[in-house]
A and B are shown apart, each in its own frame.
Chain A
Amino acid sequence: MLKILKYSFYDLMRSRWSYVYFAFYLLLGVVLLFLNNDLSKAVITLMNVIIVLVPLIGTIFGVMYYYNSREFTELLLAQPLKRSSIFLGQYLGVALSLSMSLILGLGIPFVFYGLFQSSAIWDFSLLLITGTFLTLIFTALAFNIALSNENKIKGFGYAILLWLLLAVIYDGLFLMSLIMFEDYPLDKVSLVGTMLNPIDLSRTLILLKLDISALLGYTGAVFKEFFGTNFGLIISFIMLTAWVILPVFRIVFKSKRKDF
Chain B
Amino acid sequence: MVSIQNLHKKFGKNQVLKGVDLNINEGGIFAVLGPNGSGKTTLIKSVLGMVIPDKGNIEVLGNNIKKSSDYRHKIDYLPQIANFPSNLKVKELIKMIKDLRKPTNEETRLINLFKLEPFLDKKLGNLSGGTKQKVNIVLTFMFDSPLVILDEPTTGLDPISLIRLKDLIQAEKAKGKTILITSHIMSFVEEVSDEIVFILEGQIYFKGTIQDLKTKTKQPDFEHAIASILTENHA
A and B touch in the complex (CB under 8 A): yes
Q: Which residues of A contact B (CB under 8 A)?
A: 3-4, 7, 11, 14-15, 69-72, 74-83, 256-260
In the complex the two chains form, is A75's CB within 8 Å of B84's CB? yes
In the complex the two chains form, is B96's CB within 8 Å of A7's CB? yes
In the complex the two chains form, is A260's CB within 8 Å of B45's CB? yes
Cβ-neighbour of A79 out of B45, B52, B84, B101 (below 8 A) = B101
In the complex the two chains form, is A75's CB within 8 Å of B87's CB? no
In the complex the two chains form, is A3's CB within 8 Å of B84's CB? no
In the complex the two chains form, is A78's CB within 8 Å of B77's CB? yes
In the complex the two chains form, is B75's CB within 8 Å of A70's CB? no
8 new A-B contacts, CB < 8 A, other than A80-B69, A256-B52, are A70-B83, A72-B85, A74-B79, A75-B79, A78-B48, A79-B97, A81-B100, A83-B69
Residue of A nearest to B49 (CB): A83
Q: Chain A contacts of B73 at CB under 8 A?
A: 80
Q: How far is the CB of B79 from chain A (nearest CB, A)?
A: 5
Residue of B nearest to A6 (CB): B99
Q: Does B50 contact A (CB under 8 A)?
A: yes
Q: Chain B contacts of A69 at CB under 8 A?
A: 85
Q: Chain A contacts of B101 at CB under 8 A?
A: 79-80
Of residues 108 to 161 in B, which have CB atoms within 8 Å of A's CB atoms? none
Q: Chain A contacts of B11 at CB under 8 A?
A: 259
Q: Would you give the 0/1 interface string for B175-208, flagging 1 where the beta carbon is closer than 8 Å to chain A?
A: 0000000000000000000000000000000000
In the complex the two chains form, is B72's CB within 8 Å of A259's CB? no
Q: How far is the CA of A256 from the CA of B68 in the complex (A)?
A: 12
Contacts A78-B77, A259-B50, A260-B50 hold; do A71 and B85 have CB atoms under 8 A apart?
A: yes
Q: Does B227 contact A (CB under 8 A)?
A: no
Q: How far is the CB of A93 from chain B (nearest CB, A)?
A: 12
Residue of B nearest to A72 (CB): B85
In the complex the two chains form, is B45's CB within 8 Å of A11's CB? no
Cβ-neighbour of A259 out of B52, B75, B88 (below 8 A) = B52
Of residues 37 to 61 in B, which have CB atoms within 8 Å of A's CB atoms? 45, 48, 50-52
Q: How far is the CA of A260 from the CA of B83 in the complex (A)?
A: 13
Q: How far is the CB of B14 from chain A (nearest CB, A)?
A: 12
Residue of A nearest to B9 (CB): A259
Q: How far is the CB of B222 from chain A (nearest CB, A)?
A: 30
Q: How far is the CB of B7 from chain A (nearest CB, A)?
A: 13
Residue of A nearest to B83 (CB): A71
In the complex the two chains form, is B85's CB within 8 Å of A78's CB? no
Cβ-neighbour of A3 out of B45, B83, B85, B99 (below 8 A) = B99
Q: How far is the CB of B97 from chain A (nearest CB, A)?
A: 7
Residue of A nearest to B46 (CB): A259
Q: Would you give the 0/1 interface string for B88-110, flagging 1 where the beta carbon is closer than 8 Å to chain A?
A: 10000000110111000000000
Q: Does B215 contact A (CB under 8 A)?
A: no
Q: Does B25 contact A (CB under 8 A)?
A: no
In the complex the two chains form, is A15's CB within 8 Å of B87's CB? yes
Residue of B nearest to A80 (CB): B72
Q: Chain B contacts of A83 at CB under 8 A?
A: 69
In the complex the two chains form, is B69's CB within 8 Å of A259's CB? no
In the complex the two chains form, is B85's CB within 8 Å of A75's CB? yes
Q: List 22 A-B contacts (CB under 8 A).
A: A3-B100, A4-B100, A7-B96, A11-B87, A14-B87, A70-B83, A71-B85, A71-B86, A72-B84, A75-B83, A75-B85, A75-B97, A79-B97, A80-B70, A80-B73, A81-B100, A83-B69, A256-B52, A257-B52, A259-B51, A259-B52, A260-B50
